[in-house]
Amino acid sequence: MDYKYIEQLLSRYWAAETSEAEERILRQFFSQPDVPPQLAAYRDLFVYEAEQESVGLGRDFDERVARLAQEGKSRVVRARRPSLGRRLRPLLHAAAVVAICVVVGDAAQRAFRSNGSQPVWDYNLNSYTDSYDNPQEALETVGGSLRQLHTLLAPEGEVRPDSLARTKTPNAPLP
Amino acid sequence: MNAIDFRYDLLPLKDKLYRLALRITLDTAEAEDTVQDTLLRVWEKRYELTAVKSLEAYCLTVCRNLALDRRARAEAANLSLDEAQLDAPDATPRADERMEHEERLRRVDRLFNRLPLQQRTAMQLRDIEGRSYREVAAIMGISEDNVKVTLHRARQALKAQFEKTERNGL
Amino acid sequence: MKPLLALLLALAGWLPAAAQRSEDFAQRFMSLYADSHALSCTTVSPAMMERVLNLDTLRHDDGARHVISQLRSIRVVTAANASHTDRLLSAADSLASVNRRRYTPRAEGADYAIYVRERRGVLVEVVVFLVDEERRFSMLDFTGNMSEDFLSRLARND
């Protein structure tokens, strides 16, 4: 089969020069199982786009909204974020109350001990339970993690491939 | 233009509105609320809409604006680490092939959603909803030329990602 | 339930605002997905980090000590296998997106992302999602008092 036509369409697709009908042809082409290797890289995109057409809302949505329309309601704002009560609920077990008093008291002490300004590092010290007993082992994790971060940040001598979102480059290295 | 009927004219649009709202807010709960607000608002104004040529395009425009409002409000609100709205984890094990297929699609979904807001909105309206350049321009409130430039950028970004994956032998 | 809630609210009212403590990204991520996706987490606490900094082996490595001195904790989340990698990457993206007031994207690629949390000009948290050579999901969560210099030093090729 001659794939030249599809390749031409594809080239125009990337350039945003295709018509709706041509884009439909591309989606149809890529939805069949036998896609030649030179075009296989792009298959997922068109398969995804075709499948996305079936994303939607269920029937219970229909009933609810139709009823609201009938009642003449215009905008209904439903609170989706957990209320304060719900957020505090994990804390409300009896055994935890004692622990909380200790933590709260401790944190208050620490706050009073400082010069009154809020600490910038605001995480809960008690939530960090060490996985290692000795610092030599911990060092391996520290070093390994920093190396991985370095790998992602450092250009490694070649131009970085496109990233999709805005990429803020770190400040220029100090001399 | 005949009087708008809720069940026959507005409700059938819910899925496309949902897809657009979801692409903008990236949050299933916000997207659902946006669709509800859109349908009810348009319904409320039904007598004023006699001059509107395409009810669908009009609804998509309203939906887009409401979704943007929600996004702006979510950003302005002081959020603690709230739970994101995601599918429930799958308990049933799946055949490798099917799972691989879903994982690949999920990857594209992530790439799509990582596109800047304008780009992914344009892609949603054009590639998935099949609107014309003119309609996309009207819904987004930009020129047709701008639509094409935006689509060009989005598609080039995606193309680069797909080629990179191919090179890395995924 | 109600009397307990009242007690807690009373306690909260007594506390100065400075006592409110945040949860780091990895901790929240683990609480949401660890069980369903076979994730494990390795932690280096602030206390341990101090001990690492004072190790003999680092005594003459000023560069390393300069970087480590800006850290207070590290959490490393790893998945047992590669079956949910894309789902976990999506989940991590979503969690960061929902909390975009706290976490801003710093760099992104198809299979990785770096987010930072800044407070009063200081990077207090750097979160990285990535995949390893076997395509297993992994997350690194650094907290501390990091400067932009911290990141630029790590970006250098020396």
Helix (H), strand (E), coil (C) string for A93-133: CHHHHHHHHHHHHHHHHHHHHCCCCCCCCCECHHHCCCCCC
Chain A contact partners (≥3 CB pairs within 8 A)? B, C
Q: Would you call B109 an interface residue with chain C, using a CB distance cutoff of 8 Å?
A: yes
**What does DSSP assign to residue B45?**
T
Q: Would you call B9 an interface residue with chain A, using a CB distance cutoff of 8 Å?
A: no
ipTM above 0.90, yes or no: no
| Chain segment C53-106, per-residue pLDDT in tens | 999 999 999 889 999 999 999 999 999 988 888 888 888 887 887 777 788 888
Its sign, for the CA torsion C77, C83, C85, C87, is: negative
| Chain segment A110-142, per-residue pLDDT in tens | 444 444 456 788 888 989 999 999 999 999 999
**Residue B151 burial by CB count (10 A; 0-12/13-18/19+): exposed, middle or buried?**
buried
Split at pLDDT 50, 70, 90, the class of A74 is low
Q: Would you call A13 an interface residue with chain B, using a CB distance cutoff of 8 Å?
A: yes
Q: Would you call B134 an interface residue with chain A, using a CB distance cutoff of 8 Å?
A: no
Beta-strand pair C71-79/C39-44? antiparallel
Split at pLDDT 50, 70, 90, the class of B69 is very high
pTM for this one? 0.64
Given a contact cutoff of 8 angstroms between Cβ atoms, the answer to whether C144 and C71 are in contact is yes
- Tokens representing B118 are 């304008």
Express as a percent the part of chain A with pLDDT over 70. 61
Q: Would you call A30 an interface residue with chain B, using a CB distance cutoff of 8 Å?
A: no
Nearest CB neighbour to A61, from listed B29, B32, B155: B32
Nearest CB neighbour to A57, from listed B35, B116, B162: B35
User: Which residues lie across from C77 on neighbouring strands?
Assistant: C41, C139
Torsion, Cα A119 C94 B93 C40, to 10 degrees, reads -20
- The per-residue pLDDT for A73 is 65
- The per-residue pLDDT for B125 is 98
* C12 φ/ψ angles, rounded to the nearest 5 degrees: -60, -35
Interface A:B, Cβ pairs < 8 A:
116
B40/A70 Cα distance (integer angstroms):
10
Q: Would you call C108 an interface residue with chain A, using a CB distance cutoff of 8 Å?
A: yes
Tell me which H or E stretch contains C113: strand C112-119
Interface test with C, best of B81, B86, B99, B106 (most C CBs within 10 A): B81
Q: Do B165 and C110 touch (CB under 8 A)?
A: yes
The per-type count for chain B, helices as H runs and strands as E runs, is 7, 0
A126/B18 Cα distance (integer angstroms):
43
Nearest CB neighbour to C23, from listed B26, B27, B81: B81
Residues of C with Cβ-Cβ distance to B170 under 8 angstroms: 135
**What does DSSP assign to residue C22?**
B
Distance of CA B67 to the CA centre of its chain: 9
What residue of C is the nearest CA neighbor of B89? C36
Tell me which H or E stretch contains B20: helix B14-25
- The per-residue pLDDT for A76 is 54
